[in-house]
């Protein structure tokens, strides 16, 4: 049988990695797919740029439209990034009857509903395993392996760059900017690295995970998002003294009232496996009602780990080229007419525990005032750590952990505590999750 011809949009980190993996493992991949797979055409901006892969045998162009319009190609792999040109090209490829594979989480999170509807109509696949958690086959695990479960919640370290920065800062005392520059050099970071450090990339990925876990539409605009830029060394050390690690997590939870979708720095007990996921590695913890907790771990970014997911998707598409489009695994795990509009909860209504840090005058009664305010709001305290001033006139630092409470109540309590004369400056608040039950 003739090899399947594939067109590549983008020859950068992931595009180059994909060419290399297909080239190196071609024979074994063909034995799995049932046919050879050949990248015959590729588009990039600059044809003279040095590449991490060989371009021998590939027809190159600077015009990506030539790829999506090429009638010889059955599959288009979009690895350009962004959600404007990429959206146009993917929609054109679908309209031209081509299957699409993409690693582009921004594209899927923001335009996936429209893209999948168009693909469904045209009877083509849009595969996006590499869009979440790099090389970890998390989409397949949730969509297929856990199909017998009601997913209760999931929590993941889903940005490799952010986790790499937090780990290097904690372990080596490295400077934020230096580690970010290293992540860029290694090809981990997004074209605009604020997407990594401000949590936007993780929010794109969480949008996708929540959708396939709960059967809800993709709703990027409803994800609450905080990045890692405000985490201080002092917070990391206090958390460790209390037996916790700070990780940047994407959390999606189904509650009786709706769905929580949030991305933020989070304290987690240091004995949890996920608390020990370091560097560029990602991990996603998924709680299904039948299976209980399951944990998926692997490289979250980089050329070949991401190419592993891209090539896995190409093989999936090749295997189903001749199958009835109606009988394919649905894009968002649930049949398109069974997607339900469960409300997404506003942050005031989410429930979590908290780490609070405040500076206080070193005099009797201050701690009592703080605990009274918390108690009045029904917030109970799990642990308190007070660091005495080392010199006269300096303020004491009070760090506390609370039990689970509604965020709205915590916001009111924080406002009341900040209004106390004995407390100076804003209170640091980091959410805390035990990740041990429903």
Q: Give the residue numbers marked as catalytic.
A: 205
For position 301 contacting ligand HSE by CB under 6 A, the verdict is yes
Report the 10 Å Cβ neighbour count for 291.
13
For ligand NDP, which residue of 4, 6, 7, 12 counts as binding (CB under 6 A)? 12
For position 188 contacting ligand HSE by CB under 6 A, the verdict is yes
Q: Which helix (DSSP H) or strand (DSSP E) does residue 20 occupy?
A: helix 13-24
Cβ atoms of residues 270 and 244 within 8 Å: yes
Helix spans in 59-199 (H):
64-68, 85-95, 105-122, 138-140, 160-172, 176-185, 194-197
Q: Which helix (DSSP H) or strand (DSSP E) does residue 264 occupy?
A: strand 259-269
For ligand HSE, which residue of 161, 207, 211, 308 counts as binding (CB under 6 A)? 161
For position 166 contacting ligand HSE by CB under 6 A, the verdict is no
| Residue found under tokens 């045209």 | 122
For ligand HSE, which residue of 126, 300, 310, 432 counts as binding (CB under 6 A)? 300
Sites for ligand NDP among residues 134-193 (CB under 6 A): 134, 187-188, 190-191
Distance in Å, CB of 301 to ligand NDP, minimum: 3
Q: Which stretch binds ligand NDP (CB under 6 A): 39-47, 207-215, 283-291, 325-333?
A: 39-47
Contact of residue 196 among ligand HSE, ligand NDP, none (CB under 5-8 Å per partner type): ligand HSE
Q: Which helix (DSSP H) or strand (DSSP E) does residue 8 occupy?
A: strand 4-9
Q: Which stretch binds ligand HSE (CB under 6 A): 34-42, 184-192, 251-259, 429-437?
A: 184-192
Report the 10 Å Cβ neighbour count for 421.
8
For ligand NDP, which residue of 4, 6, 11, 252 counts as binding (CB under 6 A)? 11
Q: Which is nearer to ligand NDP, 43 or 208 (CB)?
A: 43
Distance in Å, CB of 189 to ligand HSE, minimum: 5
Q: Which is nearer to ligand NDP, 134 or 293 (CB)?
A: 134
Q: Which is nearer to ligand HSE, 192 or 289 (CB)?
A: 192
Q: Which is nearer to ligand HSE, 211 or 238 (CB)?
A: 211
Distance in Å, CB of 270 to ligand HSE, minimum: 23
Distance in Å, CB of 314 to ligand NDP, minimum: 14
Q: What is the rounded radius of gyration, in angstroms, for the C-alpha atoms of the chain?
A: 24
Q: Which helix (DSSP H) or strand (DSSP E) does residue 246 occupy?
A: strand 244-254
For position 197 contacting ligand NDP by CB under 6 A, the verdict is no
Q: Which is nearer to ligand NDP, 201 or 260 (CB)?
A: 201
Contact of residue 46 among ligand HSE, ligand NDP, none (CB under 5-8 Å per partner type): ligand NDP
3, 328, 377 from 335: Cα distances, Å: 31, 10, 43
**DSSP string across 57-78:** T-EEES-HHHHHT-TT-SEEEE
x/- mask, ligand NDP, residues 46-65, rule CB under 6 A, reads x--x--------------x-
Q: Which is nearer to ligand NDP, 61 or 412 (CB)?
A: 61
Q: Which is nearer to ligand HSE, 188 or 334 (CB)?
A: 188
43, 164, 169, 275, 371 from 228: Cα distances, Å: 34, 11, 12, 16, 28
For position 407 contacting ligand NDP by CB under 6 A, the verdict is no
SS (H, E, C) 386-430: EECCCCCCCCEEEEEEECCEEHHHHHHHHHHHHCCCCEEEEEEEE
Cα 340 to the center of its chain, rounded Å: 22
Mapped onto helix, strand or coil, the DSSP state of residue 154 is strand
Q: How far apart are CA 331 and CA 45, in angstroms?
A: 30
Q: Which residue of this chain has its Cβ atom nearest to ligand HSE in the complex? A: 161
In sequence order, the 6+-apart residues with CB closer than 8 A to the CB of 147 are 333
Selection from 250, 164, 153 nearest residue 201 by Cα: 250
Distance in Å, CB of 309 to ligand HSE, minimum: 10
Q: Which is nearer to ligand NDP, 96 or 397 (CB)?
A: 96
For ligand NDP, which residue of 33, 130, 200, 398 counts as binding (CB under 6 A)? 130
- Contacts with ligand NDP, residue ranges (CB under 6 A): 10-15, 43-46, 49, 64, 79-81, 85, 103-104, 130, 134, 187-188, 190-191, 301-302, 306
- Contacts with ligand HSE, residue ranges (CB under 6 A): 134, 159-161, 188-190, 196, 201, 300-301
């Amino acid at each position: 049988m003739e090899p399947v011809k594939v067109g590549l949009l983008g020859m950068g980190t992931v595009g180059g990695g994909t060419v290399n993996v297909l080239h190196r493992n071609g024979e074994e991949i063909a034995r799995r797919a049932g046919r050879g797979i050949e990248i015959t055409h590729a588009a990039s901006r600059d044809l003279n740029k040095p590449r991490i892969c060989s371009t021998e045998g590939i027809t190159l162009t600077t015009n990506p439209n030539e790829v999506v319009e090429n009638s010889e190609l059955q599959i288009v792999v979009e690895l350009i990034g962004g959600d404007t040109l990429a959206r146009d090209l993917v929609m054109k490829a679908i309209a031209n009857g081509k299957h699409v594979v993409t690693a582009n989480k921004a594209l899927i999170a923001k335009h996936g509903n429209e893209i999948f509807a168009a693909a469904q109509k045209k009877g083509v696949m849009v595969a996006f395993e590499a869009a979440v958690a790099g090389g970890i086959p998390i989409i397949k695990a949730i969509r297929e392996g856990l199909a017998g479960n009601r997913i209760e919640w999931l929590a993941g370290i889903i940005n490799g760059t952010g986790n790499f920065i937090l780990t290097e800062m904690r372990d080596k005392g490295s400077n934020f900017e230096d580690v970010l520059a290293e992540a860029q050099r290694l090809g981990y970071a997004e074209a605009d690295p604020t997407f990594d450090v401000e949590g936007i990339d993780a929010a794109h990925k969480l949008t996708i995970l929540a959708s396939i876990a709960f059967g809800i539409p993709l709703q990027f605009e409803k994800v609450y998002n905080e990045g890692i830029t405000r985490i201080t060394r002092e917070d990391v050390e206090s958390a460790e003294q209390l037996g916790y690690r700070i990780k940047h997590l994407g959390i999606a939870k189904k509650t009786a009232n709706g769905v929580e979708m949030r991305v933020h720095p989070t304290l987690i007990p240091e004995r949890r496996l996920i608390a020990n996921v370091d560097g560029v590695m990602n991990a996603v913890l998924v709680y299904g009602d039948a299976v209980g907790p399951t944990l998926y771990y692997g490289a979250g970014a980089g050329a070949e780990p991401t190419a592993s997911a891209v090539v896995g998707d190409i093989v999936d598409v090749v295997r189903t080229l001749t199958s009835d489009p109606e009988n394919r695994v649905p894009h968002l795990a649930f049949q398109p007419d069974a997607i339900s509009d469960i409300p997404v909860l506003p942050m005031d209504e989410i429930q979590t525990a908290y780490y609070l840090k405040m500076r206080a005058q070193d005099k009797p009664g201050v701690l009592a005032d703080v605990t009274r305010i918390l108690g009045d709001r029904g917030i109970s305290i799990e642990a308190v750590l007070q660091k005495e001033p080392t010199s006269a006139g300096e303020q004491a630092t009070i760090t506390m952990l609370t039990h689970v409470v509604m965020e709205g109540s915590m916001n009111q309590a924080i406002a009341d505590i900040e209004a106390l004369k004995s407390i100076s400056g804003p209170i640091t608040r980091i959410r805390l999750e035990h990740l041990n039950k429903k």
